Amino acid sequence: MTINNSFAQTLRSIFTDGGVLLFCVVVPLVYPVLYAFIYNGEAVREVPVVVVDDSHSRLSREYLRRLDATPDVRIAGHATTLEEAQEGVKSRDAYGVVYIPSDFQQSLMTGRQTRVQLYCDMSGMLYYKALLTANTDVSLSMNAEIKVGDMGANPIAAASGIHGGTPEQKATLQHPVRYEWVALYNATGGFASFLIPAVLVIAIQQTMLLGIGLITGTRRERGEKAPSQWSSFQTLTGIALAFIAFYIPISCYVLGVVPEMFNLPHIGNPWEIGCLLLPFLVAVFNLGVTIGVVPHKRETVFLIVVFTSVPLLFLSGVSWPGSAFPSFWHYFSQIFPSTHGANAYIKLNTMGAHLRDIRYEYFALWAQAIVYGITAWLCVRYVYKAKEPATRPEQQ
């Protein structure tokens, strides 16, 4: 089969298969928009919490007053026990519980360390971030004031009984080293600017793998004689060109239009992003053909691909820093195109880097494209060759 015939036949298979159209067209068009819309607010405000104050002291009330005054947290109610507070979280009246122990003020007055316990609903990372940030800021502020102990300035200092020193000395004691925190490439500190770019790249990879798996599974279910269609290098090239040509406009929409729609960081050079897109799509296609020999039925590909979406997000090194990975997981993450594609795309589109700055990721994707291209060709030849019926003597 020639490249042209293979190209045309593959496009025909894509456009006539409802499942492939669903996962290769509808999902890439809708899923990124839906995900970006959910996190488009970047941050949440006034997250309701339930308070359990076993101290009932002046300092515990001061802590809660400051917590309620932050823009991130709103005290929605008080409970007498943790079990009662948990009921409020279960009913979604609150997304966290703040527990102040009975010895809170006594420990502070006697120079001993105390603690405030925070229980968060981890079903939404934005809620967790808001609650943790607000409680951390309040505790740090109170820690600094307790250290200087300005008698007349606030109730904390008055209760601690420590005073004296000039305002300059107190300011120096509170903050011996002044620092300024600047969130590079994410001025709002929001989840959308931080997470969505990686999700977009992984969405392209996963939907493309699903499409290839569905077509491969369908051919194996029907018992098609694949050696005549898949074993030649020219045929495999035609199939690759069809999928890549089909995914180029979809990828342009996902990586170019979606960030523009939701005002995500979008300062990359379109030409350089296009140069990155080519090896990424080739590597993903070859990986899809390689693992496409595994499922004997169409539905099996869902168990393989969909299950890996969240692990691949973590392995990309975006949601959790790759430098903190154990050695095994660091090297394991390098075998997936999404790892290099997500990091390179973020550098280009969010950080304003250029192709010379992503040399490692760029050449890694080309290396994957070559290696997976060899494995794809070998896999389909080996698997389908075994399915070819033996030649009968009368046909020899």
The pLDDT, as a whole number, for residue 226 is 46
* Residue 37: C-alpha distances to residues 32, 205, 280, 346 (Å): 8, 21, 26, 19
* Residue-level pLDDT at 236: 80
The CA distances from residue 21 to 26, 69, 207, 208, 368, in Å, are 7, 50, 10, 11, 26
Q: What's CA 315's distance to the chain center, in Å?
A: 9
**pLDDT of res. 206:** 92
pLDDT for 396 equals 38
Q: What is the pLDDT of residue 92?
A: 84
pLDDT profile of the chain (396 residues), mean per 10:
76 83 87 80 80 89 91 90 87 89 85 86 80 89 72 47 57 67 73 84 92 78 52 75 91 90 86 94 92 76 83 88 88 94 93 92 96 86 53 43
In the chain, where the domains are located: 3-39+188-395, 47-174
Is the domain covering 47-174 a CATH 3.40.50.300 domain?
Answer: no
Residue 148 has a pLDDT of: 66
Q: What is the pLDDT of residue 162?
A: 45
Question: What's the pTM?
Answer: 0.73
| Residue-level pLDDT at 169 | 61
pLDDT of residue 186: 76
For residue 37, what pLDDT is reported?
80
What pLDDT, on the 0 to 100 scale, is given for residue 394?
A: 45
